[in-house]
Structure 1
């Protein structure tokens, strides 16, 4: 009887051991299968790009960092194009999806220019563009944005792009950007959809790129592709400033309120921003900052919650580091406004542009023509207006500017 019990115990132990081994093996196989699937899903190129990322990735080395990259899942904006006026039939912006994805801000760099800032670069010009704006990029390269020496300092330039949203409308975008990058070495392309509410991603990823590949650049101008920039005046202004100090100058907007009308391009619901006033910010059409300030803003961008309007987001980052942006009359990101007393005054005049820094917005033809006029020795102006002083908007001026902004939107 004693031997029989011992045999039953041994048999039971053996059976339990076998069952445990089977269960463990099955669990391990399931876990490994799940991990392999996860790795496969993570490493696959997104549906958005198809095989594009694999073909373009060779131009993006070295990578920004070895951390985990976000997927190129876009924020749905219907058919809105970032460079066009919004249509009245535009579908509403999907803020729920935006809030779900707002913590994803690190995207793969598909086209890179790692040697852009080799040497002593005084001013880096960074222009927001979209793939189909080839003509705008070309006119900028051949006019005010030309690289080289200007008044004894080195000027460099890059264009900031994301992946086109509607690739069926512009199927040649990949081939264009690949050859354009090879020819000019000035294209930075990230793996996120190029939409209006993704402009903040350009801001964040550009500052990160700047910190890695252009750590010694003295000053940066960042603006839109449809602005005219008088780089000579900007260089002269910056020669009076120290690149090792905080510098942030532009067309500063004070006491701006969030737009709650769903018909507006800039509509922001209270669930996204509950406060009544935005912090002071410079119009995204064009502003300048020092390399020192850019480093501080890059760190602040990691700490500030993502906001869909890029220039307002930059104002939040400035508030985070305790820096007030300086306003300058030479930055006209709302264009040159005709005085009410002279509604028929021609403002497209080189005598208006000669002393300005930035004017928004010009067509390709207007930009080329203004460049030629400003460099024509036969063009003479009777008076010279100095506009370098800084100023603050009065309440009346601020109200007029906000009304103009609503009309333009």
Structure 2
């Protein structure tokens, strides 16, 4: 995702078939037949101009053009799924027909294989623990380089017909237009899925332990504010022109960004999503979508909660135990989200975790857990398998769970 370690400074802590078909917004012809748009006719997209004499230190973005076009907020929805959130008995035992959790995955047209592995693994739709219903959508824009994916429009139209999970908007799918993807998705939730209880939103290159997320949400109220992820506190804008995340002072003059979630994946309540939909229409658009969403959270007065199970920057071996294998199913089964995985890795981890022969150390036995080196703490505690609550504390553990070595040691 867009978040970069240089920004990070923690100072605190199979599915029931729908009777309705997905809708592809048509262009009407004289014969009354419909045909999806092949390319965007909108001019309000964010182009990147090639420099006359390319220099490695030049910013990868034309901020003058961005400033001219950034107030263009409303783009047509070309492929819709209007019945996505109509689910009989999807409220987890209640009378609501809305899904308990909606999974929204940022994608681009060319990433068909990534969408497929998500559909077949952690993004599966259906009924899960206690009968709760889960639905999945993929969020896309118009590909910039359409010649690299011939007939991309046909691909997405066929995908939508087959899987009924594609949302496509009429803006170019570029790094700096991800903010538009954020605002348009929130508008779609507000209009097409207003009663959803919880939302997981993330990238296609993550592994998500949906069972752990459902465990975390147990007891949470969907009509209250909730925003949980790998929260980045006190991040400073990057002024280095060679950085992908370079933001000049005339675009953002403050010294610190508001707290925001690394975009690999986060969870929010439907209530918070509806409030964000309104707030994001009032906040000036910003070219980094993770930071922009943090600005919207600040606008509504919601403080995001950091959870140790969300690993936006992947898994790094602890310096105290460099021999440990980070790609271990007994470790992954204790986490919520792990970012930056390949398609084979996601497929492999899914199958490893669902292997009936998988055997991990008994979590009920006392296990010494060492806190991270930067915490200044070295404590022993008992890790009891029972999931993590919304604050990242292990249920059944006497103190806050810190993942540096605890999950490893409890896995062997």
**TM-score class normalised by the smaller sequence:** 0.7 to 0.9
> Structure 2 matches for 1:3-402, cutoff 5 A?
55-56=35-36, 71-77=42-48, 92-119=60-87, 120=97, 121-151=99-129, 152-384=131-363, 388=388, 390=391
- How far 1:290 sits from its partner (Å)? 0.6
Check 1:258–1:145 CA distance in 2 against 1; reply closer, same or farther (3 A cut): same
**What CA deviation, in whole Å up to 9, does each residue of 1:176-207 have, x standing for no partner?**
00100000000000000000110000000000
Q: TM-score when scaled to structure 1?
A: 0.76
Cα distance change, pair 112–304 in 1 and its aligned pair in 2 (3 A): same
Give 1:73 shift: 2.9
Structure 1 vs Structure 2 CA RMSD:
2.3
The whole-number CA distance in structure 1 between the counterparts of 2:286 and 2:211 is 33
Q: Deviations over 1:355-390 (max 9, x none)?
A: 111000110000000000000121111154567253
8 Å Cα contact 2:309-2:392 kept in structure 1: no
Report the CA distance shift for 1:91/1:171 in structure 2 as closer, same or farther (over 3 A). farther
Checking the alignment, whether the CA contact within 8 Å between 1:280 and 1:315 is kept in structure 2 is: yes
Contact 1:70–1:107 at 8 Å: present in 2 too? no
| Distance in 2 between residues matched to 1:222 and 1:232, nearest whole Å | 15
Figure out how many residues of one structure are paired with residues of the other and give that number: 324
Over 3 Å counting, the alpha-carbon distance change for 1:220 and 1:365 in structure 2 is same
What SS does structure 1 have at the residue aligned with 2:82? coil
2: CA distance, partners of 1:303 / 1:88: 36
Equivalent-residue separation in structure 1 for 2:49 and 2:147 (angstroms) = 15
Say if 1:57 and 1:118 are closer, same or farther in 2 by CA, change over 3 A.
farther
How far the C-alpha of 1:319 sits from its partner, in A, is: 0.3
What secondary structure sits across from 1:55 in the alignment? Answer: strand
- Deviation per CA, 1:141-165: give whole Å up to 9, x if none: 0001000001110000000000000
**CA distance change for structure 1 residues 311 and 383 in 2, over 3 Å: closer, same or farther?**
farther
- 1:88 is displaced (CA, Å) by 5.3
- Alpha carbons 2:240, 2:246 under 8 Å: kept: yes
Q: Structure 1 334/383 Cα, relative in aligned 2: closer, same or farther at 3 Å?
A: farther
Distance 1:292 1:257 in 2: 29
C-alpha separation between the residues in 2 aligned to 1:361 and 1:238? 24
Q: Which runs of 5+ in 2 are unaligned?
A: 1-26, 28-33, 88-96, 364-382, 394-401, 403-412
8 Å CA contact 1:72, 1:107 repeated in 2: no
Structure 1: gaps spanning 5 or more residues? 1-44, 46-53, 59-68, 80-86, 398-409
Counterpart-to-counterpart distance in 1, 2:182 and 2:331: 30
Structure of larger gyration radius? 1
On the 8 A contact 1:70/1:105 being kept in 2, the answer is: no
Further displaced range: 88-97 or 243-252: 88-97
Rate the CA distance shift 1:369–1:261 in 2: closer, same or farther, 3 A: same
Give, in angstroms, the shift of residue 344 of structure 1. Answer: 3.5
Paired residues of 2:223 and 2:270 also in contact (CA < 8 A): yes
The secondary structure found in structure 2 opposite 1:303 is coil
User: Is the 1:251–1:328 Cα contact (8 Å) retained in structure 2?
Assistant: yes
Deviation >6 Å, runs of 4+: none
Higher relative helix content: 1
Deviation at 1:284, TM superposition (A): 0.7
On the 8 A contact 1:70/1:106 being kept in 2, the answer is no
CA contact (8 A) 2:59 2:243 kept: no
